[in-house]
Amino acid sequence: MKQTGYVRLAMQAFWELLRHDLVQTALGFRYLCKQVTGQRVVPQPYQPDAEQRVCDAVSLAACFYWKPVHCLQRSSVATRLLRKSGIDGRLVIGYRPSPFISHAWVEVNGRVVNDSPAYKERMYVLCTF
């Protein structure tokens, strides 16, 4: 991918981070879930490195975001961008009951793409979008 394409993707990720904040603050978690669920996979030509590019762009945008980006925000943004890139990403929210820990990550074809695969192995899935 050309550098201008990657910069554009990182800017799109930054916009999605901001959009996530605004939607969650103004309309709440339930509406945010509808937004993620409603984002359909856009047919695109196959690009073998698209998953990694999207996850890298979200990480780069999070570096420049003015407040901490938590796992739910990062994962919902990555899911929406993956779907816009033609990849059927799934936002997964999991938990461990004792001691209680919750976490969100993105899966593509059952593989964790934006985080450690250990979360999938060590946590119970609460919901998938």
Per-residue pLDDT of 71-121, as tens digits, reads 999 999 999 999 999 999 999 999 999 899 999 999 999 999 999 999 999
Whole-Å CA distances, 113 to 14, 31, 89: 19, 24, 9
Number of domains the chain is built from: 1
**5: pLDDT confidence band, cut at 50, 70 and 90?**
confident
**46: pLDDT confidence band, cut at 50, 70 and 90?**
confident
Evaluate if residue 44 carries a pLDDT over 90.
no
Domain residue limits at 56: 3-128
pLDDT at position 43 is 87
Evaluate if residue 125 carries a pLDDT over 70.
yes
Report the distance separating Cα 68 and Cα 59, nearest Å.
12
**pTM for this structure?**
0.91
Do 78 and 14 form a contact (C-beta atoms < 8 A)?
no
